Amino acid sequence: MEYEEVKKTVEVPRNAGVEGFLHALSEILKMPRVQSVTINAQGQVTYRRYVTQEEESNLHVDFEHVQPYHVIRNAPMEEHFYPPGMAASTVLAGMLDKICSKGMTPIAFVIGAQSRLWSWYYGSTGVEVTNKDRLLGYKLSSDRHIPDSTVVVCAGYGNTQALADTRLSLKIDITYKGLLNDDMEIV
């Protein structure tokens, strides 16, 4: 039997997080004759393996189940409304408080790919958020399936940090009248 060495790269979506990398590694290691696996900081997992002429050399990894939208839609979600004119920082802190009052641990915030969060936050607080990877100390993920006017906080039980452990989500719509001032411009 004649073997040929192949080298392939799998792109892990940025919002798939650690679970995405673990899923890619799991799928790669299920294949026979894997010789090496390399992970880089740009979200690429490269593997080298030997294949016969009859074998399929391409790996098709589905990351949908580890993407934020999929995780969120598979857990109960509550929507919360806040009084008119309340600052973004107060609304977000209220979401975290609500999660904690239910005996749960906040895991992460999730927003749309072109989220209006930043302009809403700046417009209501006067503070420009410079770190786009975290929000109020929690991991911040984006997903193109989440509306751009929505902010979701995911929560789980115990001391968890994995988005896949989400057991409840709280959602706000930042275009809800009362969250935005009439003169506030959303870009």
pTM above 0.85, yes or no: no
CA torsion 46-51-57-60 (nearest 10°) is: -70
> What is the per-residue pLDDT for 175?
74
- 104 part of a folded domain: yes
- Nearest to residue 34, comparing CAs of 19, 45, 22? 45
Number of separate domains in the chain: 2
Residues of the chain predicted below pLDDT 70: 57, 65-66, 176-187
pLDDT digits over 147-160, tens only? 999 999 999 998 87
Q: Are residues 47 and 125 in the same domain?
A: no
Cβ–Cβ under 8 Å, residues 138 and 106: yes
Residue with structure tokens 């040929």?
4
> Do residue 76 and residue 148 come from a single domain?
yes
Residues 82, 149, single domain; the answer is: yes
Q: Which domain holds residue 115?
A: 70-173
Residue 119 within any structural domain of the chain? yes
In a domain, 186, yes or no: no
Predicted local distance difference test score (pLDDT) of residue 84: 74
Render pLDDT for 32-50 as a digit per residue (tens, 0 to 9): 889 999 998 888 899 999 8
CATH of the domain at 130: 3.30.2320
- Mark whether 75 and 162 lie in a shared domain: yes
